[in-house]
Amino acid sequence: MGPLARLKYWAADRAHFAIVLAFSIFSAFPFYWMIITTFKRNSDLINRDNNPFIFNEPPTLEHLRVLFHDTLYGIWLWNTAFVGVLVVGITLILAVPAGYALARLSGRWGEHLGIGIFLTYLVPPTLLFIPLSKVVVGLGLQDSLWSLVLVYPSFTVPFSTWLLMGFFKAIPRDLEEAAMIDGYSRLGAFAKIVMPISIAGILTVVIFSFTLVMQEFVYALTFISPVKQYTVSVGVPTFLVHGDVYFWGSLMAGCFIASVPIAIVYNFFVDRFIAGFTVGAVK
């Protein structure tokens, strides 16, 4: 390799490193901001002459004390996890077979049904919470977490079904036909062949559904009144924003604690999302 080629290789390597570093800083900055705000003193936060990116005064644990001692944040976390796990389970139970059936349904009916299901996801929640509230009251689920377990799948299932259709359509039929020739039933081929290849889509549905549960506000505020039944998305802004007074340190602490699990799961499985999971499966 000549000097010019080595120079080009070095320049390309440094440019690639700089781009990756820039994107990494951009992605990590919100977490850095939440962490530094969590441990900053109020006097440090409100002083405009201070550098907002560093600790100008010794850090403090006061904001965490307020979050866990003066609010029911621990209970809200448990409520959110409870609803999230159930909603994810219901979504997978309904969306996986529906997406597979629509993906394998030949002709225009499959495509039209898939588009119709996706369009139901686009209906604004503000148009639905009034009729859904009547359903919740009629079932006697008001002021209960079960009302959220009932309602949230109404907009996680349509989108997840449409999303999984794309993953299932990308899987060649030859794989299932080969499995059935070897003795598997249609259900057996689906469980042994299709499901393992579609793990990326299933993980995407899990993260989407759980994230939606954590950030949804309108339904949780409408259907639930007792403070002990609140989820994080309702409890944190309700008790840490008093009029025009914002408890920024505690707000950032609550947001950081709630967002870390999702970030960890996403980064742990990020290769699943971008992998070409059917490339070379059929020769």
233 with 256, same domain? yes
At which of 42, 60, 78 does a domain end?
A: 60
153 with 15, same domain? no
Domain presence at residue 282: no
Cβ neighbours, 10 Å, residue 175:
17
Task: Quote the domain boundaries for residue 79.
Answer: 65-274
Domain presence at residue 29: yes
Domain presence at residue 195: yes
Domain presence at residue 80: yes
Q: Cα separation of 33 and 231, whole Å?
A: 23
27 with 86, same domain? no
Distance of CA 21 to the CA centre of its chain: 25
Helix (H) or strand (E) holding 244: none
Task: Count CA atoms closer than 13 A to 84's CA, side-chain side.
Answer: 24
43 with 170, same domain? no
122 with 259, same domain? yes
Residue 245: DSSP 8-state: E
Structure confidence at residue 272 (pLDDT): 59
Helix (H) or strand (E) holding 241: strand 241-242
Record the pTM.
Answer: 0.82
Q: Cα separation of 10 and 238, whole Å?
A: 53
Domain presence at residue 133: yes
CA nearest 126: which of 26, 10, 221, 239? 221
What does each of the 283 residues of the chain score in pLDDT, given as a tens digit? 567 777 777 787 788 888 988 988 898 898 899 999 999 998 888 888 888 888 888 999 999 999 999 889 999 999 999 999 999 999 999 999 888 888 877 666 666 776 777 677 677 777 777 888 888 888 888 888 999 999 999 888 888 888 888 788 877 778 877 878 877 787 888 888 888 888 878 888 888 888 888 888 888 888 888 899 999 989 998 888 887 788 889 999 998 998 888 788 777 766 655 543 333 344 4
- Three-state DSSP state, 47: coil
84 with 49, same domain? no
Q: Cα separation of 268 and 145, whole Å?
A: 30
75 with 139, same domain? yes
228 with 122, same domain? yes
Structure confidence at residue 1 (pLDDT): 56
Looking at 122-247, list the stretches that DSSP marks H as alpha helix, in order from N- to C-terminal side: 125-138, 145-151, 153-169, 173-181, 186-189, 195-197, 199-215, 218-223, 232-240
Bridging pattern class, strands 245-246 and 241-242:
antiparallel
Structure confidence at residue 40 (pLDDT): 92
Structure confidence at residue 232 (pLDDT): 92
Let me know: does 231 contact 79? Beta carbons within 8 Å.
yes
Q: Cα separation of 121 and 274, whole Å?
A: 24
188 with 214, same domain? yes
140 with 211, same domain? yes
Structure confidence at residue 277 (pLDDT): 39
212 with 95, same domain? yes
Domain presence at residue 280: no
75 with 108, same domain? yes
Q: Cα separation of 240 and 246, whole Å?
A: 6
Task: Identify the CATH number of the domain in which residue 161 sits.
Answer: 1.10.3720.10
- Three-state DSSP state, 256: helix
Structure confidence at residue 73 (pLDDT): 92
At which of 60, 84, 99 does a domain end?
A: 60
* Total count of domains within the chain: 2
At which of 44, 60, 76 does a domain end?
A: 60
